[in-house]
Homo-oligomer: A and B are copies of this chain.
């Protein structure tokens, strides 16, 4: 599963976040991707996603680091559900384990791209803030 193209993309995305390389980061998303920024608040499309990631990087004083720690890919045809664990660190927070769920789509060129990025897992059901 670690050799799956989606696993490589998520690894690249983590590296891109750690280096604040937002051009590389945006490459993994579809043009109309939805990213949960916090439960109840989503960024849609690459312009909003870039803006959100830039704001997040600033919020964490440019110390945010993400490392994947587990992944399960459920693929059929041109879609895949990805359930993943990641560890998040930054200067203003304790090390945090996040449970993220993603939908990837395969485009006509056979490339997987992320259409939905929900790094809050089931916390989106609570809408506590």
Contacts and interface: CB of A to CB of B under 8 A. Distances in A.
A32 interface: yes
Candidate in A33, A77, A103, A121 with the most chain B CB atoms within 10 angstroms: A103
B36 A125 contact: no
Contacts of A36: 74
A44 B46 CA distance: 33
Interface in A29-44: 30, 32-34, 36, 42, 44
Interface of A: 30, 32-34, 36, 42, 44, 70-72, 74-77, 79-81, 83-85, 99, 101-103, 105, 115-116, 118, 121-122, 124-125, 127
A116 B83 contact: no
Q: For the complex, would chain A's binding face be called helix, strand, loop or mixed by DSSP majority?
A: strand
A74 B34 contact: yes
A81 to B, nearest CB: 4
